[in-house]
Amino acid sequence: MAIKYLNNDHIKGFDKYKYNSLDTSPVAVYVMHPFWNAVVKLYPMWLAPNLLTFVGFLFQVYLFLLVAYYDWDFFSNNRTRTDYQPIPNWVWYVAAICQFLGHTLDGTDGKQARRTGSSTPLGELFDHGSDSILCALMPIGLFSIFGKGFEDFGGSSWIFFATQWHIIGTFFITHWEKYLTGVLFLPWSYDFSQVAIVIVYLLTGIFGFEVWKVVLPLGIQFNYFFLGLCCAGAVVFSLPYSIYNISRAYQNGTGKNRSFNEAVSPLIPMILLLLISIFWALFSPTDILEHHTRIFLLTFSAIFSNITVRLIISQMSDTLAYANNSLMMLFGVAAFVVCVLGLAEYEVRILHGVFVIIQLLHFHYLVTVVNQLCDHFNIYAFSITSRPRQKNHVK
């Protein structure tokens, strides 16, 4: 019997779902949306919105893999490390193009859906599910611009760790906010950061990575300023705004009016994931975060994506979110075995093994959910053409 992750309550909830969002960002309203409105007119009417989403996703993944190929350990742009070759400037031009195309396709997929009359709940889930993966990949690509090493205006694995958590945490809080309010309030920082990343990649390609190894006024190194700006976008701007929207929804009775336990249950797996990742990084027998930074960041980021997608499904189907997550538990068991039992000689193998298993399980989850919704709505994931209705269609 095939595994099905969506139950009847989920399916029935998707049937009633209506998209509700609010985007008041000046960058989005006055720059991006007018640009996207012009771009979407160039698309043929047969072009499926989900295909735009997926191609944009692939551009971003290619960007990540390209930079990772030249700078797996984040030392290529450290001038004091003569054992590493600098990342070629052309890589940053390609990165800028991929970032721009990925953002453009992501911004026009919904417009194409409305233009062709092919909007479905699957489209939104597909879009936001892809974003949950990309919001973890994008900062990792940026880390290579500065590289590791304080002696050369770089960062440290712990700075990368903190920045990663601020960014994925912001994404999660935005969807937790919708889970409670019923409205997706798009953060002002989103489109601004997307445009800023393109500019940073272009400037790096033109002037070389050395352009960022400078000291700003008041003696602030640019690497601290940039990474600090990423964190400030979450703590100073996004989080207070989300709390305000949630509080107002409860006061006005315009939200879901969930009980305290129902409201906080989605936070539990994310908090546990944060604590487990800190625990493993702190008590690692081989300093795994420092020596295998990229794999460590990717591992807990994949779990974050799984937790977030499950939350998105709950909010769209108006069902209660689960307080547990099997991938997070697997990560916790691995951390316990390594750090408490002291299996230093096996730690790297365990991390890589857990990484592969988690990626495969998360991929299986995503594909299965997409197939279930395609079956239910009698559609193809990457085509506007409807498919024949299934006999076992869930009522």
154-172 confidence digits (pLDDT tens): 888 998 999 899 899 999 9
100 found inside a domain: yes
Q: Quick one: pLDDT at residue 225?
A: 82
Long-range contacts of 386-393 (CB under 8 A, 24+ apart): none
Percent of the chain whose pLDDT exceeds 90 = 68
190 found inside a domain: yes
Q: Is the pLDDT of residue 344 over 80?
A: yes
Return d(Cα 293, Cα 144) in angstroms, integer: 12
Domain that holds residue 101: 8-386
What one-letter code names the amino acid at 46?
W
Q: Quick one: pLDDT at residue 192?
A: 84
355 found inside a domain: yes
pTM of the full structure:
0.93
Return d(Cα 135, Cα 173) in angstroms, integer: 13
Return d(Cα 377, Cα 379) in angstroms, integer: 6
Give every CB contact of residue 92 below 8 A, 6+ residues apart in sequence: 145, 201, 202, 204, 205
Q: Quick one: pLDDT at residue 392?
A: 44
294 found inside a domain: yes
Segment 192-203 shows an average pLDDT of: 91
Of the pLDDT bands very low, low, confident and very high (cuts 50, 70, 90), residue 308 is very high
96 found inside a domain: yes
Left if phi > 0, otherwise alpha if psi is -120 to 50, otherwise beta: which for 219? left
Segment 239-254 shows an average pLDDT of: 89
Helix axes 49-70, 89-116, angle to 10 degrees: 170
245 found inside a domain: yes
Of the pLDDT bands very low, low, confident and very high (cuts 50, 70, 90), residue 214 is confident
Mean pLDDT of all residues belonging to the chain:
91
Segment 224-253 shows an average pLDDT of: 82
Other Cβ atoms within 10 Å of 309 Cβ, number: 22
Q: Is the pLDDT of residue 101 over 90?
A: yes
Q: Is the pLDDT of residue 393 over 50?
A: no
Segment 138-160 shows an average pLDDT of: 88
1 found inside a domain: no
Segment 257-269 shows an average pLDDT of: 93
Q: Quick one: pLDDT at residue 190?
A: 82
Instruction: Dig out the tokens for 354 from the structure.
Output: 């857990």
- How many independent structural domains does the chain possess? 1
392 found inside a domain: no
